[in-house]
Amino acid sequence: MVALILTIVFSVLLLVNFRAHAKFNIDTRIAILLNYPVCFLTGYFHQMDAIPFHWPSTGYSLGILGIGVGFVITFLLSGYSTVKNGMAPTSLANNISLVIPVLVNLFIWKTGGDLTLPVIAGLILSFAAIYFCSPSGTGSVQKPVIGALVAVFVAYGVTNTAFNYLNAAIVQQVGGSISFTLMLLLGSMLTSAVVLTYWTITGGVTWSLRSVLAAIPLGLPNFFSFYFLLKALDAYQQNGAVVLTIYNLGVILLSAVTALVFFREKLTKKQWLGIGLGCAGIALIIL
């Protein structure tokens, strides 16, 4: 239970970082792109024998690096959406994105069992939740960008689908979860280096010490949110139905409470309805 609580807390801390960046005049893009070396070093010092890597076949290796690219894209979208739409709506879009791997399992890989009535109801509620939780622009955050919520939903869903597939296929082959994670982060670091170099040359970013240092409090919870999620799965004998339900619901609800208490993000009745629908949808899909 401790590991499960910690992964929820660290996941919410990621959104807290994004929400605080505007207050402290931090360029979220720089902090995100530099957080990956912090994640990598944290994982390496946690398990130094994870290197040298044991790379799989070319196709799987390219897939690993591709997911690393996906991590960068989804994280940038999440940071942007948190600033524009607030913590609670972004957290909801992120966590109900699990409907995408569910649909892929059901209709493409055909490993997700039957399309039961509860699953159908969960999918409908999850999609409705994005609509109801979308900010109206009358709150304390900036003018909302609804497209960013949709982009977060799709990007996280596609990335998680690819991650789940490769994790099941090759995680033991490459040396375990930590080694697999570090290989993914290698792809993220390479992508970040290319993007930062391009933005620096074209004047797309303005470097500052505070934006660079912000990568540290972002990278640490980024790694530990994933690490403790794996620990929670181990503690519950890989029972994803229990762990993922509690995790997703916990992140959504704690994000909403944190946003209200610390950032005065007052949700409307419509948005609270969206959060409720999202929680019910997740429970129906996974359980």
pLDDT at 141 over 50: no
Q: Give the integer Cα–Cα distance in Å for 192 and 176.
A: 25
Between 210-224, 234-248, 267-281, the lowest mean confidence (pLDDT) is in 234-248
| pLDDT score, position 165 | 84
Q: Give the integer Cα–Cα distance in Å for 215 and 76.
A: 13
pLDDT tens figures, 56-99: 999 999 999 999 999 999 999 999 998 888 888 888 888 888 88
Share of the chain above pLDDT 90, in %: 40
| pLDDT score, position 68 | 93
Of residues 18 and 140, more confidence is placed in: 18
| pLDDT score, position 43 | 92
Give the list of residues 6+ apart from residue 187 with CB closer than 8 angstroms, or none.
64, 65, 66, 67, 68, 69, 71
DSSP 204: -
Of residues 176 and 135, more confidence is placed in: 176
DSSP 48: G
pLDDT at 110 over 70: no
Q: Give the integer Cα–Cα distance in Å for 26 and 13.
A: 16
Between 24-38, 113-127, 244-258, the lowest mean confidence (pLDDT) is in 113-127
| pLDDT score, position 222 | 93
Closest CA to 89 of 140, 149, 16: 149
How many Cβ atoms sit within 10 Å of the Cβ of residue 268? 14
Q: Give the integer Cα–Cα distance in Å for 199 and 197.
A: 6
